[in-house]
Amino acid sequence: MENQTQSENKPHTLLFVDDEKNILNSLRRLFYREHYKIIVTTKPEEALGLIESHPVSLVISDHRMPEMEGTKLLSLIREAKPDIVRIMLTGYADMGAAVEAINTAQVYRFISKPWNDEDLKLTVREALRQYDLIALNRELTELVKEQNQELYDINRSLEKKVQERTAALDAKNKDLDALNQKLESSFLDTVKALMGLMEMKNRSLAGHARRVAAQSSELAKLLGLSKKEQQLCEMSALLMDIGMIGYPDSLLKLRVREMDQAKRLLWQKHPLLAEESLKGIDSLKAASRIVRSHHERFDGTGFPDGLVAKNIPLPARILAASGYFDHLLSPKSGEMGLSVGEALILLEKEQGKRFDPKVVHALIDVVKNIQAPSTALEVEVSLQELREGMVLAKDLKTGGGILLLPAGNHLQDAHLRRIMNFNRIDPIIDRIYVYRKG
């Protein structure tokens, strides 16, 4: 089985071409026991047909033939089937024929007549081994090529799958974002609706909540709280005094120190009332707990639970300090609010007592360094709260759009009378902003 191809395990087909029949017979005899399939012809033309109709691996051709020279025949075979191993038999040492055979027919070997049987058998065996190697190499190359193509296809389809997957994930994320936005906006809608109620009841209560909310969110950020906690601070501040919605205006316009015992007890219930009304709303549960504690004091003298220091949730400690500071700045009961400097002195005095010292420090930083003076000093007041000496932060117009006083105007008694007169005929509906004393 040594002389069979490794890949197909079939006997090799050998083609012998010689115009002399006895040479062909000798060759046939020589390879008779070698397990080759032998075909022979005396006609070179026929040989060209035989290589097309048989799986010929090797050709041994005579050189001198009357119809066609061996060089010519082997060249044509090389053109038609380049893999067939070509061996030339020469009757004599013809250098010219040898050179031509090498150049044009690229023969594997020359064998001179008369040949040595063993040499010729060995030459054929080696030639066929090389033929098999070339065939195997080609097969493997083809296989690698096919596998490369397969790999390429797999990569392409993987890439496509990844792209599809990414697109699907993107779409899911977008859906999720939309859902979150919807949730967020329904949550904000709830807060806005509640703020609207507060606004209807008492505009300065709502204004106070808005300013404290903005400041508390800043404070939370400065104190290193997460985005979610910053938002919790803001929401809780907006809603902290919602429990006062049912209180009479006569109570709301008083400062705490001006309230009698009964009024003060009622007023002190507002954190609990707020908690009660908010805790039923899923998205406001966390805020309801903060709202309950926004009047707790750091030293434990606050209400409703008398919590001490870190037992008070940090957002509630933030709301407490920020709320107090804003009250100090706001006009109430016919009095102007304090200046920022005066309010800061009072705030500092309360650190460690009413308020968490670290919150007080942060608040001082926010007021002194972070807030822009123009927004820090602007405060919303009601028409009734306008007083002589206040400076308008924004133009003051009637509901019909008549400019009563421009921004920057120092209010005098005559101005106030004019404003009130106009308000009776063409009520002022815009919010009124004045500067705090710096």
**Closer Cβ to Fe ion, 69 or 356, answer by number:** 356
* Two structure tokens written together for 13: 């087909």
**Closer Cβ to Fe ion, 23 or 233, answer by number:** 233
Pairing mode, strands 432-435 and 378-381 = antiparallel
Q: How far is the CB of 356 from Fe ion (least distance, A)?
A: 17
Q: How far is the CB of 272 from Fe ion (least distance, A)?
A: 11
171 to 167, 185, 366: CA distances (angstroms): 6, 21, 41
| Residue closest to Fe ion when measured from CB atoms | 241
**Closer Cβ to Fe ion, 275 or 385, answer by number:** 275
Tell the burial category of 201 from Cβ atoms under 10 Å away from its Cβ (0-12, 13-18, 19+).
Answer: middle
**Beta carbons of 206 and 245 less than 8 angstroms apart:** no
Q: How far is the CB of 247 from Fe ion (least distance, A)?
A: 11
Q: What is the chain's length?
A: 438
Closest CA to 237 of 200, 218, 215, 209: 209
Which residue type, as a one-letter code, is found at position 384?
A: Q
CA angle 258, 263, 269 (to 5 degrees): 120
Q: How far is the CB of 435 from Fe ion (least distance, A)?
A: 25
Q: How far is the CB of 295 from Fe ion (least distance, A)?
A: 6
Is the bond leading into 114 cis (omega within 30 degrees of zero)?
yes
d(CA 296, CA 316): 8
d(CA 58, CA 48): 13
Q: How far is the CB of 200 from Fe ion (least distance, A)?
A: 18
Q: How far is the CB of 236 from Fe ion (least distance, A)?
A: 11
**Closer Cβ to Fe ion, 62 or 296, answer by number:** 296
d(CA 297, CA 360): 13
**Beta carbons of 396 and 386 less than 8 angstroms apart:** no
Question: Where is 373: in which H helix or E strand?
Answer: helix 373-376
Closest CA to 204 of 241, 230, 256, 174: 241
**Beta carbons of 398 and 389 less than 8 angstroms apart:** no
**Closer Cβ to Fe ion, 59 or 244, answer by number:** 244
**Closer Cβ to Fe ion, 234 or 241, answer by number:** 241
Print burial letters for 404-419: b (CB count within 10 Å at least 16), e (below 16): bbeeeeebeeebeeeb
Q: How far is the CB of 409 from Fe ion (least distance, A)?
A: 33
* Two structure tokens written together for 211: 């300013």
**Beta carbons of 413 and 419 less than 8 angstroms apart:** no
**Closer Cβ to Fe ion, 212 or 396, answer by number:** 212
Q: How far is the CB of 243 from Fe ion (least distance, A)?
A: 8
Q: How far is the CB of 241 from Fe ion (least distance, A)?
A: 5
Residues that bind Fe ion (CB under 5 A): 241
Closest CA to 31 of 60, 62, 65, 70: 60
d(CA 197, CA 214): 19
d(CA 161, CA 175): 21
Q: How far is the CB of 420 from Fe ion (least distance, A)?
A: 31
Cβ atoms within 10 Å of 215's Cβ, excluding its own? 26
